Amino acid sequence: MCKVKDFVFFSNRDDLTYVEITEIHVSQSVEYPLTPKDTTIIGGTVSTKNGIGSGNFLVGYRRQTSDKGWVQVDIFPEIKYWE
């Protein structure tokens, strides 16, 4: 998934138009089945707004305990960047 917010079109003296993006968010995840009841999950997100960025990386494990239930454990450190 990718979301882009607040983009603005500008025109300079040479009458060329360009786009300024002030905010963007990207996320992706992948589930990988190990067995019919066990699944690993890997994913992450990256966001930036006005030069300030953050992101995280997710690693998880899910075990199906019954036809209607499961147990899931996730680990996700957060990363921040700013100028």
Residue 30: the pLDDT is 95
Locate 36 and state its tokens: 């019919």
Cβ distance 10 to 16 under 8 Å? no
Mean pLDDT by 10 residues, the chain (83 residues): 55 63 88 96 89 87 93 78 56
Q: Can you point out the beta strands (E) in 1-83? A: 2-11, 17-33, 38-49, 52-64, 70-75, 78-82
Which domains are present in the chain? 25-82 (3.10.450)
Q: Is the pTM of this model over 0.75?
A: no
